[in-house]
Copies of this chain bind each other. A is one copy, B any other.
Amino acid sequence: MSKKIMILPGDGIGPEIVEQAVAVLKTADEKFGLGLEFSEGLIGGASIDAHGEPLTDAELKKAGECDAVLLGAVGGPKWDKLDRAIRPEKGLLKIRSGLGLYANLRPAILYPQLADASSLKPEVVSGLDILIVRELTGGIYFGEPRGIRTLENGEKQGFNTYVYKESEIERIARTAFEAAQKRGGKLCSVDKANVLEVTVLWREVLDRLAPEYPDVELSHMYVDNAAMQLVRAPKQFDVMVTGNMFGDILSDAAAMLTGSIGMLPSASLNESGFGLYEPCHGSAPDIAGQGIANPLATILSAAMMLRYSLDMGDVADAIEAAVSKVLDQGLRTADIYTEGCKKVSTAEMGAAVVAAL
């Protein structure tokens, strides 16, 4: 029984880092006989160049027929001046929404080998291990009405709609409660219920579900305070759950606490466990094509894919162990380099993981 994986390299450093992750997956496939089958597609600027749009319906359909998708990154200055409807980012929003990938899991983990890379004091972040669960197909990202209109007096007005219904909140809340059950048993839900009605409903739904998860300790925090607490004492958190927009902001802040965003994978899942896997970082056009990007976040995303969508948890473990081993060997790409380590290229880092595997 083969497993079909669609590869979407995207733009910027996307192709370089995805190449290494695919090499790792192929090695794992040979070694453990996984029966992986790969196909490749276009998204973002690469798709705009080929088809005039950031993700074609045909490509979306193909992706949906696979067992999982591995994505590099999208976007770059080349496409910044295009009409907003056909920007690279729209491809990402289209695949998330089109495949119903509502549950975005973003771990923020401090690798002990990279403890120095954080801008925070070691005692504040050592051992950091947070999971941010972000709702990904609703909220203000997709709410209607939206747009820019001209008012009677001739001035323009921009507007977006922040909207959630109970069922959308409930399913992401369950993902978060279940994640907390498998981790430290603590869930912090982030909202702005003192100002925004939509998050009043958010809080109500979380409170209503809580009794079903007696082994999880649920707390609520306003988003402004959550941003502060992440800076002040991030280790107080285990799992955090929040909407699309707040999740975008807080997960990036949390990732940066570790100082090595080039190390952090992410998963975006739908109801049936199908998932899109991508590094937390962007397409980094400034260093694209130089062969210096860090492929580890993408390799770790591939590991997450094996664990969550393909039910191959021990292979995922093996890949993660291989990554840890190359870090122990002192190999570092430029973004995580510190004195005394060995600076390596994207390809060398990928090859080292393959060898360690």
Contact = CB atoms under 8 A, between A and B. Distances in A.
Contact of A140 (B75, B196, B202, B250): B196
How many copies of this chain does the complex contain?
2
Given A119-B231, A253-B227, A163 B158 contact: yes
Contact of A121 (B89, B121, B224): B121
Interface string A165-182: 111000000000000000
Contacts of A261: 228
Interface of A: 75, 84, 87, 89, 93, 119-121, 124, 140-141, 143, 146-148, 151, 155-167, 192, 194-202, 223-225, 227-228, 230-233, 245-246, 248-253, 255-257, 259, 261
Given A121-B121, A228-B256, A252-B228, A197 B155 contact: no
Contacts of A199: 158
Contacts of A257: 231
A165 B160 contact: no
B147 A197 contact: yes
A57 to B, nearest CB: 21
Contact of A161 (B161, B233, B250): B161
A196 B160 contact: yes
A200 B148 CA distance: 9
Nearest to A163: B159
Contact of A141 (B161, B195, B255, B256): B195
A158 B151 contact: no
B250 A227 contact: yes
A140 B164 CA distance: 15
B157 A166 contact: yes
B202 A227 contact: no
